[in-house]
């Protein structure tokens, strides 16, 4: 049983910044892939960024559309994942979901709305 709770979404102007947080609880030990996905109405849920591994073996990946603008990170206990978003664009508007994956099993948060508009 894993619970994920996102926070930090809201309304921001183009060029602004926002920091999303995802707190994980439950059975989260082991090697997990944590990440952020986003979805807009009528479209599929797409990956934004993922993070996995330990210490010097930590590996991050980013969608091309956010590379250089977004940064994914974890706390030391690896039970919280962050998404620092900078230079936001209107196309970044979406519901952002936190995920945790262990092999075939995936867990999802409830989502947090990010709206980029002037």
Task: Give the chain's residues under pLDDT 50.
Answer: none
Question: Which of 70, 79, 86 minimizes the C-alpha distance to 107?
Answer: 79
- Provide the pLDDT for residue 55: 83
- Provide the pLDDT for residue 31: 77
- Provide the pLDDT for residue 56: 87
How far apart CA 101 and CA 63 sit, in angstroms, is 18
10-12/112-116 β-pairing: parallel
Residue recorded with tokens 């082991």? 30
Residue 91, phi then psi, degrees to nearest 5 = -70, -10
């Amino acid at each position: 049983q894993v619970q994920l709770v996102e926070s930090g979404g809201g309304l921001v102007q183009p060029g602004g910044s926002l920091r999303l947080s995802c707190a994980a609880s439950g059975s989260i030990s082991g090697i997990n892939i944590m990440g952020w996905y986003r979805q807009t109405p009528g479209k599929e849920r797409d990956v934004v960024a993922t993070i996995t591994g330990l210490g010097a073996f930590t590996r991050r990946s980013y969608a091309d559309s956010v590379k250089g603008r977004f940064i994914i990170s974890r706390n030391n206990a690896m039970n919280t994942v962050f998404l620092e978003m900078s230079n936001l664009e209107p196309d970044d508007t979406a519901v952002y979901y936190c995920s945790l994956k262990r092999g075939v099993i995936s867990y999802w948060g409830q989502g947090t709305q990010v709206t980029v508009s002037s």
